Structure 1
């Protein structure tokens, strides 16, 4: 999806795909997808305002949250614009028929340039952090991801990641477990934060079969405007 097709509104919302049933946006670092205890305006409300303004809709705007991204991450987030599409999209994700590709910048390259990581993750709600184990323990969930080293920069490396499961902080936790924490991710072992409090994890690409039209949708989210991300793209 070319940058020319991106639309912006007053909230700096980046819409990378939209039709009658679906809207896909490029989330910025710091945005929360749904409302939480912070009381900060969620991305879902920003998207509702965008729809209301664009189509001059009176009253409340329907919007269904299909999936989420951690607050410090960037990239693709999809919402449903109709109640007809929402359960179908939810089923698409639960049955793992939506292919999600992530990009992550790490300081220390994994020992293997390409590998599959299998762990059992257990979430601690008190510190909102997951711990990886090599075998199943009580309360843990199996986590599988595939990574591929796709670029080596002067001081960092770029990994492309395909998720087979969707666990709490899965990519962050599993990469940290092999000694390759994501740039800026203090919670999982990186030594310093990014200036904007982001972590260098980006939901780069999403491929799925449209639940209504049955067409193949394939979208790519532009990278954050940052010197290191720019080096990854060049």
Structure 2
């Protein structure tokens, strides 16, 4: 894992521009995650003895890039977790897709069901067992080399939600083999990027707006902020 890209930092929180392919937290692969690297960064920067506290507030899928926030104190972890649980966090994404969206802007409402064995989610009927409501808003930005840039505002946070819902309207995300795109990105990432997170600071009680540029990889070339 390369050097971390810190995009926000104070005594309570730290936010990273995660690269596609990096793990948000440990999983069954037992690969290193961002948590270990951020702890080392904090330990070295502030010359902290002993173990460093770092709380995982939310996650991004391994192939997804963009803003991810961690808590540096237990108080911040408890309060930020509640903000996410109560849907009081605004998360915006960019996606580069192969199919033009049906409208310039729209609202997608589906019910999703997760298959834990395949680590994949599917569109389900309302009322189906274990199906959860998934909502998002999208806006078509522009065409980029025969692909289409879409901005997304996530209203719920379901497993693989954006990937499933976009594929369902014929807008498969570039590099996302799991949901129907034909070829992988060179670094095995997908062109889905959490570009901004907005929330009220859990301690200071002021609005915090954290943004991150899209990755500098060939698939994103031509997109603003590259």
Instruction: Identify the residue that residue 3 of structure 1 maps to in structure 2.
Output: none
In the TM superposition, 1:6-45 aligns within 5 A as 11-45=2-36
1:180 and 2:186 correspond? no
3-state SS, counterpart of residue 101 of structure 1: strand
Q: CA RMSD in A?
A: 1.2
1:86 and 2:77 correspond? yes
Instruction: Identify the residue that residue 58 of structure 1 maps to in structure 2.
Output: 49
1:74 and 2:65 correspond? yes
Structure 1 residue ranges without an equivalent (≥5): 1-9
Q: Which runs of 4+ in 1 moved over 4 A?
A: none
Query: Structure 2 length as normaliser, TM-score?
Result: 0.96
1:233 and 2:224 correspond? yes
Aligned-residue offset at 1:15: 0.2
In the alignment, the residues of structure 2 paired with residue 151 and residue 121 of structure 1 have an alpha-carbon distance, to the nearest angstrom, of: 28
Of 90, 98, 101, which residue of structure 2 is paired with 1:110? Answer: 101
Query: Structure 1 length as normaliser, TM-score?
Result: 0.93
In the alignment, the residues of structure 2 paired with residue 151 and residue 59 of structure 1 have an alpha-carbon distance, to the nearest angstrom, of: 50
In the alignment, the residues of structure 2 paired with residue 160 and residue 171 of structure 1 have an alpha-carbon distance, to the nearest angstrom, of: 11
In the alignment, the residues of structure 2 paired with residue 153 and residue 61 of structure 1 have an alpha-carbon distance, to the nearest angstrom, of: 43
Deviations 1:113-147 (A, max 9, x none): 21111110000011000001353311100100111
Contact 2:191–2:219 at 8 Å: present in 1 too? no
Instruction: Identify the residue that residue 156 of structure 1 maps to in structure 2.
Output: 147
Of 172, 195, 216, which residue of structure 1 is paired with 2:207? Answer: 216
Contact 1:76–1:205 at 8 Å: present in 2 too? yes
In the TM superposition, 1:186-205 aligns within 5 A as 186-205=177-196
Structure 2 residue ranges without an equivalent (≥5): none
